[in-house]
């Protein structure tokens, strides 16, 4: 049977609005994708994950800075306590169950915060000397990353790669138990790893027609079997 992999949802006041590329990438990699709208009742997380073989924490809005003990920077965008709370509960339970997880963009930042790390709330104002990380065209490559040898990232992409970049926030202090496995030329953290977890700051789902980016989803599917 093809593994069933959950994708966390973005939403506004009325609609679930997910980038279809997450589902398309998973389908191409051999999985059945399902969208996971946030639940208010966190006790249902067990029942959700009991039906899943793997999890994607997708991109989306900022995370509440109060979750890493900071006050909001003026350029910190809107955040959802509902989404944060649901995804934190999902992640913690999925880790307990040793489900494979792929965390993308916001997903990586959320994982970092759950592990006690912090974020740069706005790269342009707080790290003015950094590269441009908020490229509006996410289908175009934006900057190079250098990858740690011996990492899963290296198995997937090799020692270095050119990736897309659509993030105005970034990892500041990495959380406990997370290994930094890729950095941009300005030293920005672009990937984190732990057992059963691959986390990337860029968007492989938007470039899944290229084998190196599709491999993130193939690896997740392989682990989910």
Q: What is d(CA 201, CA 172) in angstroms, rounded to the nearest whole number? A: 12
Q: Are 156 and 208 in contact (CB under 8 A)?
A: no
Q: What is d(CA 191, CA 182) in angstroms, rounded to the nearest whole number? A: 5
Residue 168: CB atoms within 10 A of its CB come to: 16
Least spacing, CB of residue 71 vs Mn ion, in Å? 25
User: For residue 34, what are the β-bridge partners?
Assistant: 6
Q: Is 152 helix (H, G, I), strand (E, B) or coil?
A: helix
**Using CB under 5 A, which of the segments 62-70, 109-117, 133-141, 151-159 binds Mn ion?**
133-141
Nearer to Mn ion, 26 or 108 (CB): 108
Residue 32: CB atoms within 10 A of its CB come to: 14
Tokens, residue 153: 């990232």
Contact residue for Mn ion among 83, 106, 133, 203 (CB under 5 A): 133
Q: What is d(CA 106, CA 111) in angstroms, rounded to the nearest whole number? A: 9
Has 203 been annotated as catalytic? yes
Has 76 been annotated as catalytic? no
Length of the chain: 225
Site string for Mn ion, 4-43 (x = CB under 5 A): ----------------------------------------
Residue 137: CB atoms within 10 A of its CB come to: 10
Tokens, residue 107: 């997903």
Site string for Mn ion, 152-191 (x = CB under 5 A): -------------x--------------------------
Nearer to Mn ion, 183 or 223 (CB): 183
Nearer to Mn ion, 45 or 170 (CB): 170
**Using CB under 5 A, which of the segments 102-110, 117-125, 128-136, 150-158 binds Mn ion?**
128-136
Q: Which of 76, 87, 105, 167 is catalytic?
A: 105
Least spacing, CB of residue 193 vs Mn ion, in Å? 17
**CB-closest chain residue to Mn ion:** 165
Positions touching Mn ion (CB under 5 A) are: 133, 165
Active-site annotation, residues: 105, 203, 205
């Amino acid at each position: 049977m093809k593994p069933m992999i959950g994708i966390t949802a973005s939403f506004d006041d009325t609609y679930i609005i997910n980038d279809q590329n997450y589902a398309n990438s998973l389908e191409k990699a051999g999985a059945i994708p399902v969208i996971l709208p946030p639940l208010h009742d966190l006790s249902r997380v067990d029942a959700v994950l009991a039906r899943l073989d793997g999890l994607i924490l997708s991109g989306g809005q900022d995370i509440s800075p109060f979750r890493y003990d900071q006050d909001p920077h003026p350029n910190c965008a809107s955040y959802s306590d509902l989404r944060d709370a649901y995804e934190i509960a999902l992640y913690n339970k999925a880790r307990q169950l040793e489900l494979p997880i792929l965390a993308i963009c916001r997903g990586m930042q959320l994982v970092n915060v759950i592990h006690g790390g912090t974020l740069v709330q706005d790269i342009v104002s707080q790290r003015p000397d950094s590269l441009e990380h908020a490229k509006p065209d996410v289908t175009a490559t934006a900057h190079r990353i250098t990858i740690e040898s011996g990492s899963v990232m290296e198995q997937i992409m090799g020692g270095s790669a050119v990736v897309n970049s659509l993030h105005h926030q970034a990892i500041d202090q990495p959380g406990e138990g997370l290994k930094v496995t890729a950095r941009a030329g300005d030293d920005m953290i672009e990937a984190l790893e732990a057992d059963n977890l691959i986390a990337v700051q860029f968007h492989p789902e938007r470039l899944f027609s290229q084998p190196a980016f599709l491999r993130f989803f193939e690896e997740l599917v392989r682990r989910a079997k």
